Structures are given as C-alpha cells and as structure tokens.
Amino acid sequence: MGPWLILWQNLMKLPNLPLRHPDETLYSLVARTRLMNGTQSDWETCAALFGPTPVRRIADIPVNFTYFCEATDGVYGSRAALVRDATAIPFFRSLGRLARDDSPNGGQRCQPQPPRNKDVQKPCGLAIISHGGIHNWRFCPACREEEISAHGVPYWHRQHQLPATLKCAKHGRNLVEGHPPKSTRDGRLWLPDAPTLVAQPVAVENEKGLTQSTILIRLAQLSGSVLVAPSWSSSAGRVITTIRHALGTRGLLTAAGRIRRDDFLLEVRRWFGPLARVPPFATLLGTTNLEQLVQALSYTRPIRTCSEILMLIDWLFGSWDTFLFHRDWQEVMETGTIGANAPAGCATVGHRNRRRQPEQTFDAARQAHRNTCVAFCRGQADASRTQFGRAHPKSYQWLRRNDAEWLNMQFPARVPQPRQEQLFVER
C-alpha cells in the first residue's frame, strides 16, 4: 500500500464497527457501519472501507478485501474468511458457475462460466458479490421482526438472496422482495427496514399450496447447504457429468448418450408440477426452457441457470451431501476404459453396447487426437470449434464422442461480456 493510501486510510478511519451477525452479507455489514458511524454520505463509508474509487454507484463500488481487512484491523477475519462467510461467491463456485482470480492486490474478480478469454475478467461490485444482484433483494418478515427486537436493526441474509430460494428455511414463510425507489436506489445503502422500501411477495400460493410450500422449503434448504458447505470448487463439466450419470441410472439416457425427452419431461413436470404457477419457476418449467435443458444435458453443454441445477440435484439426489458423494464416487470410478475425461453418462451408459478398445490403444488414440487439436490451436490465435472440425474432421469427431469435456475446455462457448447485473441474477 502506497503512502497516499495510508494517509487516506488514516483520514477516513471509522471509529465504530458493528458485530457481524450470522449469515449477514457484506453489503449489509457496510450499511450498518454507515448507520453506526453517521458519516456524511454512504459513498464515504464505502471509500473508508474499500479504498478511494471514482465509482459513485453504491451497488457497483469495487470490493478490495485486502484494504477492507486493513481498514477494520482484521476484526472480521481474513480475506478468505470474508469471502466464505459474507459473500455469495461460495455458492456459485460450488455449482461451477464462477471463475475467479486471486490477484496479489486483493481485488476479487469473477465472471460466469465458461469464459472465452480467462485473462479478461470483470471486477464485481459490492452488491453483486454480496447478493448476486444490484437491487430487488429478498428478506423474511419474521426474521426482520426478530432482528429488530434483538438488535434494533435488521440485516440482509445471504441465504435469502440465492436462486430458487422463495421461502425462509428457518420460519417457512414466503420471502418478500424489497424494491428501492428508482431515483435513489443506486446511490444509497439499503436495509430491510427502510421506510421507502416497497415490499412485494415473491411466491404465489395456489390450490396446491401445501405441496408447493414443501418443494420451496426443500429448495431453500438445498441452497443453504450449497452455500455453507466446506470449501469445494467444481467445474461446470463435472456438475453436468454427475447429473448425467444419475439420469443414466434411472434409464433416462439412450444408447447414444442422449436424453429420453418424453420420459425426462414427464418426470420433471411430475416432480415440480406444483411450481408451474410460481413466477420464477413458470419460465423454467416452460416448454422452451425444458427443451433447452434437454439439449444441454444430451450434448454435455453448460446448464443455463443455477436454479435448474438445484432442481435437478433435488430431484436426482435429494441433498447436497448425496450429490457430493456421487460426484466423488463417479470421479474415482472413471478408470479410463472409455476415457478419463469422457462424460460420465457416456462412460457408463452411452457406450454400453459399443465394442471396448484396449486401454492402452484408447489412451494412445486419445493422446494423438489431442495433440492434433493442440497443434491446430497453436497455429491459429483465435481458432474456433468449426474451423478445427473442417480442418481435422476425424480428430474432431473422435474427441466429440469420446473426450467431449476436454474438447469443450479447448473451445469454450463464445459469450458476450455481461453487465454486472447479469453476472449471477436469474430472477
């Protein structure tokens, strides 16, 4: 840290720091710090905690964890502890939806998977890292009343902001979505008790209210388990192959490794049918979205949203611990007979009737086709999957059938650089 930053830090030192509550977001902690110290503006509080910045939108303030730890004298723990306990990063990292860079300057950078260029990453603002979105955050009315009685001020919970979470796992009540006024929502720090916060329920009860509530509480508990699970990072490909293997054991994969569309759609609608009229799930359970999900699972492509991943895990595994067990078991059991990097569904179901090659012959063929692909990519700076398929059709077809995960890593999907509010938000 340079001398001018040390001077700035001394001038902006905040005398009072509140205690951090369980499951409290970093944004909420900053908002309560502003309330306790009575600084002239919300921006000054953010600048005192995260360092000087030209960004004036509170939701987009860059988060510098190293500066934050020094400004607070480490009372909230290390940088790793803050990321684990006060942000939404562990949730998205566990589902393979987050690429991050631990740079020496302490800035946290993240973007959705799969990135086209891993060297180009977009820094996340305070709201994105804390809540996964820049406004319209959720809270539980029962939790808010308890916190006002116990502490005088409520706070934002990490678990309430997660995708597919529409009910409080603790009280079983519908969450409420707070809408700050558009004229001031970007320049203020908001808490759930703000008088100008417009509250709107996010869940819609229908004639199947009991069954619907059971499913929503189950999904909320699953999201909470993913959030607080021990540090575990997963690739998007590994999540999909584990799900494909579970589909194969239920007989929902064909001999070619494709999804049995009619049976799959019937099971999904039977399991999550009561949610068909709940706004966030109505789109996910629509025909168009389910067709896209079938295509993604059939061809081992990234699943579009975290909500879909959670729904599949809830249906196929029942809990996050069971999913982790199957994920680790599947990785150990992949002996390389079909290919160590082949999709799990293909290794166990898709190629069941295909004549097996000797292991050494298969390994040699795989290495030869990989070398062809690497040499092609080395000769062209911006090589694409289509160009490789035209230049080397035999190697491309072999890798697509037997080494799809490795091939997808070499040619990740091209996606436009998203705006901050599109990084995690699915609602």
Q: In the prediction, which pLDDT does 341 show?
A: 39
Q: What is the mean pLDDT of residues 371-388?
A: 84
User: What's residue 201's pLDDT?
Assistant: 67
Task: Using the predicted structure, report yes or no on whether residue 80 has a pLDDT greater than 50.
Answer: yes
- Cis preceding-peptide flag for 180 (omega within 30 of 0): no
pLDDT top residue among 313 and 128: 313
Give the pLDDT confidence score for residue 12 in this predicted structure.
63
Residue 387 clears pLDDT 50, i.e. is over it: yes
What's the pLDDT tens digit per position in 345-354? 444 333 433 4
Q: What is the pLDDT of residue 408?
A: 85
User: Where in the chain are the domains?
Assistant: 3-204, 234-348
Condensed to tens digits (0 to 9), the pLDDT of residues 24-69 reads 999 999 999 988 887 778 888 888 898 888 888 888 888 989 889 9
How far apart, in whole angstroms, are the C-alpha atoms of residue 291 and residue 233? 28
- pLDDT, tens digit, 9 for 90 and up, residues 262-298: 999 999 999 998 888 888 898 999 999 999 999 999 9
The C-alpha atoms of residue 363 and residue 403 are separated, in whole angstroms, by 11
- Taking Cα atoms as reference points, which of 29, 115, 44 lies closest to residue 411? 115
Whether the per-residue pLDDT at 6 is higher than 60: the answer is no
Give pLDDT tens digits for 118-155.
333 345 788 888 888 776 789 999 999 999 999 999 99
CA 130, 132, 136, 139 dihedral sign is negative
